[in-house]
Every structure is written in C-alpha cells, then in structure tokens.
Amino acid sequence: MADFDPWDPAFLADPYPAYAELRAEGRVRYFEATNQWLVPHHADVSALLRDRRLGRTYQHRFTHEDFGRTAPPAEHEPFHTLNDHGMLDLEPPDHTRIRRLVSKAFTPRTVERLKPYVRELAGELVDALVEKGGGDLLTDVAEPLPVAVIAEMLGIPEADRAPLRPWSADICGMYELNPSQETAARAVRASVEFSAYLRELIAARREKPGDDLISGLIAAHDEGDRLTEQEMISTAVLLLNAGHEATVNATVNGWWALFSNEDQLAALRADHSLVPSAVEELMRYDTPLQLFERWVLDEIEIDGTVLPRGAEIAMLFGSANHDPEVFAAPEKLDLTRKDNPHISFSAGIHYCIGAPLARLELAASMTALLEKAPTLRPTAPPSRKPNFVIRGLEGLRVEVG
C-alpha cells in the first residue's frame, strides 16, 4: 500500500513518490484516517471537478443527519457562519448568484488596471531586499506583495492591515485534514474578530462609497439580487484569505524549487521571456494547494467502486499534477513545458476567480527578483510548514550580491 501519511514530516518533505505509488495502485482508495476516498489521477480529478453529482457542501440539499454526520459544535458557529456564506463553500443556485455578483466587481479589467501598481510594488520590495543584502524571501517579498494588493483592492486602510495575515492563517487552519480543537478555537476567535472588523468597514463604505471592491460589492446588483450583509462579510474574508495564502506559498515553494534545480534557474536567468511558462510549471511542480474535497450528493462509480451519497472524496491536486499520463517526465522541472494543463487553479464552477491576479503577482515578483537580484541564493535549506493541504515554507533565507 502506498505510504500516504499527510501527518508524517517525511511525506510532507516530498509527497510526490507516495502519489506515484497511489496512482499505480488504482484510481480510488479509501483512507480511513479521514474517512475519505482518495483520487490521485489527473483524468479523474479533472472530471470530478466538473461533475454536478458532487458538491463542496451538501447543506443545500441534505441535513447533517441525512449524511450520517453530526452538526458542528455550537461554539464553532462563528467560523461556519463565515465559511458557509462564501461562494467557495456554496453550490448553485447561491454559488451562481454570488459568483456573478462578485465577478461584476472583480473583472479582468480590474486586474489589468492593477498591473503597473503590482509591478511597482514588487520592484520596491525587491529593492529593499537587495539593499539589505538579503533576508527572508517569505516575509520580505512573497507575503507583503499579495497581502498589500488584495487589501488595496478591497480598500482596507494600511493602518488596519497587520491582523489580516494572522486572522487568515488561523481561519485556514480549518482547511487541513482533521483539525484539532485548538485549531478550531483559534479559527473561531479569528472569525469573530475579522467579521466584526469588516462589518464596521462595510458600514463606513455604505455611508461613503469609495473606488474599492467592498464599495463595488455593496453596489453590485443583478436583476434585483444583492449580497446580504453576511454574504458580503464572507466574500470579503474569502477574497482576502484566498487572495494571498496560496500566492505566498507558491512564491516561496517556487523559488525553493528553482534553487534546487540550478540548470533551470540558470536558463530562466538567461531568458526572462520564460517567466510566464515558469510560473505555470512551478505551480504544477510543487502544487501550493494539495487537496480539495467534494461530497457525493448522488451516487457515482469510479473504476467499479461505488461511492454512495454521503461519501467524501479527496482529490489529490499534487498527484494529478504529476500524472505521467498527462505530463511527460512529471518529476522533472521544465520551465519550457508547453503543454501544461495543471489543475492548481481547479476546474468547473469553483475555478479560481483570482487566477489572473495570482499569475500577475507571481510573474511580477519573479521578474523583479530576476532583474534586480540576479545573484539571489539561499543561505540555508528552509523548513517546511507542518501543513499538508496548504503547502508552504516557514521562511526562505536568501542573500544577494
């Protein structure tokens, strides 16, 4: 049996060999520790993401009892209220309505307009890193860029931004497998504080609208539809959290992969036009979000295994992105890879709404680092965060010059 143990530091250090074993074993395998069905192949993950017999939630059609589950404890309610009203954890028709309203405020044009600002900010952050002769790529560049961009888009005043990262980290703890009571308590506290903060900010923007996304969400309406107050709070939190967590990790995972593959880094340094394909390849090679779950709403069958209503599926994005049936030499980092249908931004109705922004930010920081810090190198191997689903590093110490 493949050595799939998402709590084992050796597995976390490099989960890809275990994924290869899982794929060789078959298309679906029961994992008792989380009571989920693991799906490791690209073709299956890709099809299941588009399969309407599955859902991110079941609560639009069934009760917890119908699904043989117990309702979450009452003290976790602030987290669930926040989470369950964001589009990521909704299914149609609510998902369709909210995504359409948010898309009105979060358009490709909005992202296009941000280009000069994102590039300038990336340049400034890298200049400061170079001036110091090095530092921590995570806290000096990877983190401040997407946090500032999404905070700026939503119109969060600069003086209020310090708690955003800790709130987000505490809430995101709940997306790991089998979160502990302590993780839940932290997520609840963060949910209460974050919601209270946004409730006030939304009230202020109602009084005095600005040129920001929160004012856009307040104004967005569609054939009489509007976002409720709770949906607005949940949407703002989702955009703030999703808007930086994965991008921070993709940046440092990506640079560590480059430092570990010197020939590829040399090729990139010699030809900056590789940046767009490098961004895609690094997102594939070390997948920032490793696993996404779906509930079986109506029975499905995978390779002869019947998954009944109420079963939970865990789609292994990191494995799908290393499937040799789709990617030639998947364990090789190849920044020139042309055919790269990685699944890191998902597919189907929940496809990442922020993908164009993430791509812009990743390309901007990479370009700035290539141009302004051509001798950038690590000073020590980084330590890995103990998380599985949200894959990242604790930090990445570097020097320049």
The span from the CA of 354 to the CA of 154, in Å, is 13
The span from the CA of 370 to the CA of 275, in Å, is 10
Residue 88 sits in the site that holds ligand HEM (CB under 6 A): yes
CB nearer to ligand HEM: pick between 19 and 345: 345
263 residue type, one letter: D
State CA 383 to chain mean position distance. Answer: 20
Residue 238 sits in the site that holds ligand HEM (CB under 6 A): yes
To 10 degrees, the CA torsion angle through 255, 396, 250, 115?
-80
Residue 344 sits in the site that holds ligand HEM (CB under 6 A): yes
The number of beta carbons lying within 10 Å of the beta carbon of residue 13 is: 9
Instruction: Supply 158's token pair.
Output: 């600069």
Residue 243 sits in the site that holds ligand HEM (CB under 6 A): yes
Residue 38 sits in the site that holds ligand HEM (CB under 6 A): no
CB nearer to ligand HEM: pick between 130 and 278: 278
Angular region, 329: left φ>0, alpha ψ -120 to 50, beta rest: left
Residue 55 sits in the site that holds ligand HEM (CB under 6 A): no
Pick out residues in 117-136 that bind ligand HEM (CB under 6 A): none
Residue 82 sits in the site that holds ligand HEM (CB under 6 A): no
Which stretch, 34-42, 223-231, 245-253, 306-314, contacts ligand HEM (CB under 6 A)? 245-253
| H helix and E strand count, the chain | 17, 10
CB nearer to ligand HEM: pick between 20 and 314: 314
The span from the CA of 127 to the CA of 111, in Å, is 24
Pick out residues in 289-328 that bind ligand HEM (CB under 6 A): 289, 292
Instruction: Supply 259's token pair.
Output: 């430092």
The span from the CA of 294 to the CA of 292, in Å, is 7
Closest residue to ligand HEM using C-beta atoms: 354
Q: Which of 38, 250, 366, 389 binds ligand HEM (CB under 6 A)?
A: 250
Minimum gap (Å) between residue 133 Cβ and ligand HEM: 28
CB nearer to ligand HEM: pick between 110 and 305: 110
- Residue 341: asked if its preceding bond is cis (omega within 30°), the reply is no
Sheet with 134-136, side-by-side order of all strands:
134-136, 397-399, 377-378
Which stretch, 12-20, 26-34, 215-223, 241-249, contacts ligand HEM (CB under 6 A)? 241-249
Residue 353 sits in the site that holds ligand HEM (CB under 6 A): yes
Residue 36 sits in the site that holds ligand HEM (CB under 6 A): no
Which stretch, 132-140, 214-222, 236-244, 297-305, contacts ligand HEM (CB under 6 A)? 236-244
Q: Are 398 and 378 contacting, i.e. CB atoms less than 8 angstroms apart?
A: yes
Which residues in this chain contact ligand HEM in the complex, by CB under 6 A? 56, 87-88, 99, 150, 238-239, 242-243, 246-247, 250, 288-289, 292, 344-346, 350, 352-354, 357-358
